[in-house]
Chain A
Amino acid sequence: MAPYDELLAALEVELKRGTLTLAVLSQLQTPKYGYSLLQDLVDKHVDIEAGTLYPLLRRLEKQGILTSDWDTAESRPRKYYTLSATGNEIFKKLSDNWRSMTRQIEQLLGGEDNGDH
């Protein structure tokens, strides 16, 4: 049964890959630091691990989608991330894409139930 499980896992990873970015961007309208963002996502039942999230934030920052700022006022300095102007635009476009994509997929998957035939 191992090949079946591996195959399924690989396909699931492929399916999820882009959605994590979208999930992260959706939560960064307001500045958040790594761990608070992780908790927000986990609270909303997003299946993401710390080891995936932290590098992702940094990559998005390098691409100019996020901006960051160290807040040293508190006892523990933290790096806050938020969407850049470009990032905001990209997020809106991606959200639109996502909505139309899910609509299409939903149509395909629910086709038989809706009695299209």
Chain B
Amino acid sequence: MTLPLPPASNLHAILLVTKSHSLGRRLVFHYPPLSPSAAALAAKKAPAWFGNETSTGSLDSHSDSSDWDSSTENDGIDDDVEVGSKTSAGRGSGRTSHRERDKHRPASGGWEKQDSIDEEDRGIDDSAIGNGYGKINGGRHLKGGEHDWSTVLGFQIDALEKMLCPHEAFNKRRFELGVESTVFVGAPMFVRSDGLWKKGRRKKEKRSPDQQLQAKDLLANLKSNDSDEDKTRGERSGSTSTEPFVYPQGFEPGYGHDMSIAPSLAVSEAGSDARTNSTTEVGRPDMEMFNVVFVLNPPALEYQLRVKEMYDNVTRKYAKALKYEQARFQYVWKESKKIIEMKQRARESGESLSTTWREIIGSSPLAKSIAILFDAISNDKIAHIHFDATFNTSFQIPQADSTPYLPNALEPQMPGLWLTTSNVAIEEDNDAVLTQHSALLLLEDAETLVKELEGDSKGNATALAFYIRNIVPTKSLQKISIKHNILAQDMEYIASHLVYWRRARLIPPLHPRDTYVVSPNADMSALEAAIPSYSSRFPTLPSLPKIVSMLSGTPRPYRTFIPTNEHRESYMEILAWLMRGGWVTQLRSFAWVRVTADIKAQVAAEMEREAHLKRTEEASRRDTSDSDSLTESLFSDKRSSFLAAGRPSTPMRRPPRRELDDEIMDASTILSPRTAYRGSPARPASDSGSTTSTRTTIPVPQSSGRTTSPSPAVPPQIKAPHRPSPLHLKTTSPSRNPLSPTHPLSPNLPSPPLSPQNFTASLVLSPQKANSLEARWLEKIGQTFKDQEVREHWPMLLRHLDGKHALEDVPSREGLKRKRVAAIVTGVREAGWLVVVRHW
């Protein structure tokens, strides 16, 4: 689990390159028409993720830090001039202005869904007009660089064409070419040696696994008909939040999928068959290869992550979709020829780039899809692409919707990101069950979503609308599906789908008895805009600042803020609204069992008795004493004399390497560190076993027990980009050995004086993985409860007392009444058996 990075595609251009027999290598299309030069991209600074920018915070003096020598851009340009190319040094400056817009990043973590939908709508309208072919844009306005037909990204087109047409070894593999800090990521697709773009139908049985996979993917794409809800199930494989989804039985009829699949499949087969015939007649196809190349300039430290994200989620999938279309209708090549022709005409008649581009986009669906893709992805939105009447799909780079870690002042900030642990998967849990207990918080109003569906789907939206209208954030999916008689799998499918496409979030069901606080990660810069939209939504209720102020004081259950019962519903709506915007988060309780000295003494006494019984039994069986018992008694002697010295037995420190769990090791580890500690109390750091502290704390001349700063383990070498600060503790850190829960006293260690003073209270960190001694302690604690109910549920409760499961989740997970669980927890807590901490 790492701190998520703010979404930033760093996308700067998309290029389409083809290689054909008739035309050779051609850069068919690039978008945007006026691209920044590579040198300008290289000079770009890393984005500022840190809240309010300060005036003095700019890092002009730090160009060395970004690791891309800023002088190189100048060198590059100089060289160009030297070489005598037409590229002028001024070109870069003339073009960067166009890219200003892309520099602008949405301030909030990217929750603006509405925009992406607008995008889609516009896209459809435009394509409708564009298909008319007759759209001529007469507006000619000339700008600088508008007539520069010979370079793209500051490179001569022919040079670029050569670079972006890779060797056939790259077929269906990642093509990654870096030029300075700019990287060209592509997924080259080559025609098969038999001249087909995919294997014919008759050979279907013999498909290679790779192609089978691809076909599956395409089928999945196919299933995505117009409705927003049913998009590209295949793409979900890239999703991090959802598990591999099992197709629910009986799902298809519910959504009318069969309706959409059959015709489209038929069309596709027909199309490919027709095409197959035509190609076999003509011979080998003209186009050998096409490569869609995405131009990125990620910061050096995020390079791997950003490139991978782009390739896995967009580049590869888009290329596959194009290949599919190519296989069906020669789509790519037909469109390419059209675009090339248009460009040629415009170039001869001296038109400007942007006018021409507008024309091209208007008449070529391929060019249009590239433009839509670029506009959406470079703004971290979802791109809805309409390829043809039967094939639509969407592309996005998935974004984190929550984080358990609050970034500190040194880390990249993501204001507005929902702060919670409720989305953190706990290893031993079954996620499917978890989803059922979550509620779905729609990030848009249900009616907006429904309208969206009705807008672009044909008829099957009514069923979906029914589901969506019934989703409430206060009820778990399980409850909703029971109440409305919806199949649980359907519910889950819709949920995962909505979550993946950023329309909803899974949250613990909102409840008035739960406690909510203002999230420290709330995006206060969005407040000004939020106030009016809140007040138009809840005009008669307290204003947003007032509500936020109320929830920011001492944490109280939410119901205490609700004035009357009549207000309950509207107040819950407010809460949902606040959750949606990341303003508030639920305060959840996590607990561990605290074992008191008393219990330990009792258990130890019991065990002593048992051991004694056993010994006498054995002794009676065979009278001879062997060497084992001798050593044992030897140790017990030592130990008792040690304890007799009157020091409390507080074995607080366990040396880290304690693998051998035998008696001798136990005895020695308990004895030695303490004597050492006593002998030289001034240097505890050296024997504490925490090597980090000795190494990284300030090397004080005279050793002191009081270190000057708490070992903020400064990594001597490079740290991986943007994981939670190495200073921090990690709850989910795997480094902690789960098999070493505290058991300061070995069970079979004889300790004669068994009074509580000789023990100290400690925590049982993970009751599920308790060792035998801990289990006995827990059992003993269970016996102390007077209340029958508490005693009965103690083993159930123990499952949740590991500091990872929130107590608020107990009722839903165990299927108990909220009140009952609350009473049990209170009972246990008041008896002093719990250490409880509350955070999100």
Q: Do A and B bind each other?
A: no
Interface residues of B (CB under 8 A from A): none
